[in-house]
């Protein structure tokens, strides 16, 4: 059973009468690309993997020390395509690395650069002119990096040495086992003694490549979005402390335009719909629809009620629900804007962690009822593609084929579960399974990709983590 696709992206490269669609997928430590013309590729290639293993390295990049010794390689966590569709930007989580790839006309994948950040990136996006990568990290900072670094960008001058800086002395606790009487204080003393044996901490080396700090939050950043309105660019950021912040784009990113206040739980996802609407969601019972240019809340979409009703109608999932919907919690793991030919139709698809369904909402309409699209596994990622002369798009959905539907811990026994679903919207607004050219071209993406580890906890950590953003009672104190 191959590892599920943690993230997928699709694009249309059709030009001069030639039709070509491409689908990119990240599965564990591997990148895959499949073209509608039949060409396909994987990165790193099998020969590269064997060479890395012989040299004591693991794909991609060098081995890194993780908390789980079973998983000793770095897995892809973010994936995005540049606007000109010539480059792929990806993040490998454990080594905190931002990688830029080019894919040629024959679908061959070539890594152009790898830049390891000081802190783990949690979200990335690319500016409209494809010149900069905007990277948000879990410590609350947003950096800009050139998409294609120049030789000068690759090596910035080191910080000037400070003269007569005294060396940091080892910490020696003043207490001893004879002066400590409570169990809690004894544990603190033991931790201090262990640290004293290790000696002073070595300062972390800062990255030497060009990376400019644009803005910072005082809380963990969770998502970032980039928008351009009337030739002015904006960076929209969300954090764990219920903030949606609108800042100006580079080079004035230090200027905060305003905040969109209203959330009472963590925010995990942002989605710009059209130019003037923003949808945010996370641990709240509702999705919030904003006129983000004027910082006004326009609408609330009841995602918790939609998920609760869907799961209550499923025989195998109903037993996991509480009796009252007010005791039920959801964690939004994805929001995607559906591309429609009609500009007046603004629709989004929403995924919640550990839920085997997508939920469709019409943004800005009087109806707040969400349609549930049942899946064979928990929803992980969604991308859209439009084939040839077809007037409607096809939604390609990555699903968790490793865990049981509705669970983030229980491993499947059936190894024949699919990793991709294909859906198309109908004239009545309903989504049904698609069986057209797109499915025929892409349903074999990845072939026999990385097999999941037998360590269920490690696999869970690769696929899930949004619910961990929820604060425990009393944590604000």
Q: Give residue 427's pLDDT.
A: 81
Q: Give residue 393's pLDDT.
A: 87
Place of tokens 């800005």: 364
pLDDT at residue 91 is higher than 90: yes
- pLDDT bucket at 48, cuts 50 / 70 / 90: low
Q: Give residue 388's pLDDT.
A: 58
Average pLDDT of the segment spanning 117-122: 94
Average pLDDT of the segment spanning 8-14: 91
- Please give the residue that has the higher pLDDT: either 205 or 84: 84
pLDDT at residue 215 is higher than 70: yes
Average pLDDT of the segment spanning 245-249: 97
Average pLDDT of the segment spanning 183-212: 77
Q: Give residue 64's pLDDT.
A: 39
Whole-model pTM? Answer: 0.86
Longest dimension (CA), the chain: 84
Q: Is the dihedral of CA 269, 274, 276, 277 positive or negative?
A: negative
Q: What is the 3-state secondary structure (H, E, C) of the chain?
A: CCCCCCEEEEEECCECCECCEEEEEEECCEEEEEECCCCEEEECCHHHHHHHHHCCCCCCCCCCCCCCCCCCCCCEEEEEECCCCCEEEEEECCCCEEEEEEECCCCCEEEEEEEECCCCEEEEEECCCCCEEEEEECCCEEEEEECCCCHHHHCCCCCCCCCCCCCCCCCCCCCCCCCCCCHHHHHHHHHHHHHHHHCCCCCCCCCCCCCEEEEECCCCEEEEEEEEECCEEEEEEEECCCCEEEEECCCCCCCEEEEECCCCCCEEEEEEECCCEEEEEECCCCEEEEECCCCEEEEEECHHHHHHHHHHCCHHHHCCCCCCHHHCCCCEEEEEEECCCCCCCCEEEEEECCCCEEEEEECCCCCCCCEEEECCCCEEEEEEECCCCCCCCEEEEEECCCECCCCCCCECCCCCCCCEEEEEECCCCCEEECCCHHHHHHCCCCCCCCCCCCCHHHHHHHHCCHHHHCCCCCCCC
For 440-463, what is each residue's pLDDT tens digit?
888 778 765 556 665 788 889 999
- pLDDT bucket at 400, cuts 50 / 70 / 90: very high
- pLDDT bucket at 65, cuts 50 / 70 / 90: very low
pLDDT at residue 94 is higher than 80: yes
- pLDDT bucket at 200, cuts 50 / 70 / 90: low
- Please give the residue that has the higher pLDDT: either 290 or 179: 290
For 289-299, what is each residue's pLDDT tens digit?
999 999 999 99
Q: What is the 3-state secondary structure (H, E, C) of 93-146?
A: CCCCEEEEEEECCCCCEEEEEEEECCCCEEEEEECCCCCEEEEEECCCEEEEEE
Place of tokens 């090596």: 155
Q: Give residue 128's pLDDT.
A: 95
pLDDT at residue 45 is higher than 90: no
Q: Give residue 345's pLDDT.
A: 81
pLDDT at residue 50 is higher than 80: no
Report the Cα 334 to chain-centroid distance in Å: 8
The conformation of residue 411, written as its DSSP 8-state character, comes to: B
Q: Give residue 166's pLDDT.
A: 53
Domains in the chain with CATH codes: 7-151+186-469 (2.130.10.10)
- Please give the residue that has the higher pLDDT: either 389 or 303: 303
Average pLDDT of the segment spanning 62-84: 68
Name the token pair of 328. 């039920």
Average pLDDT of the segment spanning 393-410: 94
Task: Answer whether 130's CB lies under 8 Å from 83's CB.
Answer: yes
């Amino acid at each position: 059973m191959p590892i599920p696709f943690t993230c997928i992206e699709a694009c249309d490269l059709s030009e001069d009468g030639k039709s070509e669609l491409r689908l990119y997928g990240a599965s564990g430590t591997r990148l895959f690309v499949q073209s509608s013309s039949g060409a396909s590729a994987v990165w790193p290639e099998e020969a590269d993997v064997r060479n890395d293993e012989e040299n004591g390295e693991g794909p991609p990049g060098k081995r890194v020390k993780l908390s789980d010794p079973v998983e000793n390689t770095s897995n892809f966590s973010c994936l995005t395509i540049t606007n000109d569709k010539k480059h792929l930007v990806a993040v490998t989580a454990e080594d905190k690395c931002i990688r830029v790839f080019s894919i040629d006309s024959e679908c061959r994948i070539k890594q152009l650069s790898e830049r390891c950040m000081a802190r783990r990136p949690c979200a990335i996006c690319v500016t409209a002119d494809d010149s900069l990568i905007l990277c948000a990290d879990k410590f609350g900072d947003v950096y800009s990096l050139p998409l294609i670094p120049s030789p000068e960008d690759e090596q910035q001058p080191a910080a000037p040495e400070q003269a007569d800086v005294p060396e940091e002395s080892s910490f020696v606790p003043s207490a001893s086992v004879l002066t400590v009487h409570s169990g809690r204080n004894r544990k603190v003393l033991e931790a201090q003694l262990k640290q004293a044996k290790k000696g002073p901490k070595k300062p972390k080396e800062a990255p030497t490549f060009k990376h400019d700090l644009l803005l910072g939050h005082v809380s963990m950043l969770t998502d970032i979005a980039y928008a351009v309105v009337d030739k002015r660019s904006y960076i929209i950021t969300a954090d764990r402390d219920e903030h949606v912040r609108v800042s100006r784009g580079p080079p004035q990113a230090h200027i905060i335009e305003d905040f969109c206040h209203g959330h009472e739980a963590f925010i995990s996802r942002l989605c710009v719909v059209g130019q003037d609407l923003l949808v945010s969601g996370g641990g709240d019972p509702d999705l919030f629809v904003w006129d983000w240019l004027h910082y006004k809340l326009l609408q609330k979409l009841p995602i918790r009620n939609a998920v609760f009703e869907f799961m209550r109608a499923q025989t195998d999932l109903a037993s996991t629900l509480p009796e009252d919907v007010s005791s039920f919690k959801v964690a939004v793991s994805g929001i995607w804007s559906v591309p429609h030919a009609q500009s007046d139709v603004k629709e989004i698809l929403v995924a919640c962690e550990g839920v085997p369904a997508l939920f469709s909402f019409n943004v800005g309409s009087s109806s707040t009822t969400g349609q549930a699209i049942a899946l064979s596994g928990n929803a992980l990622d969604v991308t859209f593609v439009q084939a040839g002369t077809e007037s409607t798009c096809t939604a390609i959905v990555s699903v968790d084929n490793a865990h049981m539907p509705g669970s983030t811990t229980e491993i499947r026994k059936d190894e024949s579960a699919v990793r991709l679903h294909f859906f198309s919207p109908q004239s009545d607004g309903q989504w049904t399974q698609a069986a057209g050219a797109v499915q025929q071209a892409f349903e074999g993406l990845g072939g026999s990709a990385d097999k999941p580890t037998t360590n269920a906890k490690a696999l869970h950590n690769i696929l899930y983590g949004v619910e961990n953003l929820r604060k425990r009672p009393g944590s604000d104190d």
